[in-house]
Amino acid sequence: MPLGFDGLECETAKPFALVLGGSSVHIPLVEKLQHRGYYVGLIDYLDNPPAKKYADCHFQVSTFDKQAIKEIAIEHKVQLIINCCLEYLNQIICEIAEELSLPVPYSSATAKSVSDKLLMKTIMREHGIPTSSFVCISSLEELDEANLHYPLFVKPVDGSGSTGVSCARDRHDVAACLENALAFSRSGQAIVEEESRGTEHNVYCYVLDGVTKVLLVSEKYCEASDGFENIKCIGTFAPARITEQAAKTIELVVQEISDAFSLRTTPLFAQVMIDGNDVSVIEFACRVPGGYGNRSLESKLSFDYYDYTISSFLGETPAIDLHDGGEISIVHSLYAKPCILASIEGYEELIQNGTILDVNIARVPGDVVSDESCNREKVGHFVVAASTVEDANRKMDAFFDSVRVVSAEGVNVLRTDLRLDLKEDSAPSV
């Protein structure tokens, strides 16, 4: 029997679901599975991951240990193995599920093609889906043979989100960028790609019976930097201010992605560059969007990416009932200086009085916040719903004036310099 948090064996007549990964973004997944009647076990190698206290039991096992996860699934007669925010885990999930005849949203081969960036970029190029020029390398010498133009983005071939991603402005930066990417790559390979022209946007979609629908496009803003540096996403602004033709092109491109990768029913989240009417795909993932973007979709459109993910795993036909409130939606990242985290304070009243919509606290007391990567500097997100740009700026000002990220030494280490400053008719500055 699985061990509960009191160390005693726990018996359950409920169907058993395993969630791979105990980060804060999986807390809603745990809760929604429990609401559906599941007993939820959490797989995470950490002793106290953020989602642990919400799950029914915790197995301190690596999410990459396929054999251990499979043995747990067999021993406890698990009926569902699921993850919704870390696309590279879905290949392991689908392989185990296929071996044990458990439900999956797509095959393990598809799971690999949509999580391995080399396969993804190769398939997109083969199907004529617009994407930037790239090479896959494991050493600096291999890059010398490629005819790529700076600036270049360097990322782990098997990474997720922005972990290990950095920008090389010239030849001098490349060695550090490659070392950074390879440090986060399990396969020892990195994708190096040219920067497409335009501005970066997030595209939130769903695929239902092979038909892809765009829910929302948001503008994405990152820290401006010179030379090698981990790329920090500061925030997103929705709805995006793009042309009607660009919106139509996005719809065509995301359908081409679903067709090329044989996607039937799944969430779909794409990162694209938009230059006027032209669209180029950076990458995509079949998961709940990162950066707490799902919360923006829930508040603005009443679309629940978590429920949709669960339904896609179970082979259900999800019900879609969208309601656009018409507001501006801001999802803002929170970064802290290196420290041992003690607490994050001052946001509860802002939620209660309607200044902000929600906060995602991604760390627990005792966590080490470091500058090794942008994800390790990030401590959470907050969400603002506003009627105007001026209203949004006022609410963000109130947040940064009120909230403290407190270190073990009692010092406020919140990075107040990493914030959006919205303009009425132009891109926000950072």
pLDDT value for 186: 83
Q: Provide the sign of the torsion angle of the four alpha carbons 367, 371, 376, 381, taken in this order.
A: positive
Cα–Cα distance measured from residue 254 to residue 247, given in angstroms and rounded to the nearest whole number: 11
Can you list the domains of the chain with their CATH numbers?
16-104 (3.40.50.20), 133-194 (3.30.1490.20), 197-326 (3.30.470.20), 327-429 (3.90.600.10)
Cα–Cα distance measured from residue 231 to residue 149, given in angstroms and rounded to the nearest whole number: 19
pLDDT value for 234: 92
pTM of the model: 0.87
- What CA–CA distances, in Å, run from 160 to 111, 215, 261? 13, 22, 18
φ, ψ of residue 235 in degrees (nearest 5): 180, 175
pLDDT value for 369: 94
pLDDT value for 425: 59
- What CA–CA distances, in Å, run from 172 to 138, 154, 227, 324? 17, 14, 9, 47
pLDDT value for 55: 97
Cα–Cα distance measured from residue 207 to residue 16, given in angstroms and rounded to the nearest whole number: 27
Q: What is the CA radius of gyration of the chain?
A: 21
Find the distance separating the first CA and the last CA of the chain, reported in whole Å.
51
Asked whether 215 and 238 are in contact (CB, 8 A), the reply is no
pLDDT value for 191: 87
pLDDT value for 319: 84
Residues of the chain where predicted confidence (pLDDT) is lower than 70: 1-11, 160-162, 224-230, 424-430
Name the token pair of 322. Answer: 């969208």
Q: How far is CA 250 from the centre of its chain?
A: 20
Cα–Cα distance measured from residue 351 to residue 331, given in angstroms and rounded to the nearest whole number: 14
pLDDT value for 145: 77
Asked whether 269 and 296 are in contact (CB, 8 A), the reply is no
pLDDT value for 81: 98
pLDDT value for 78: 97
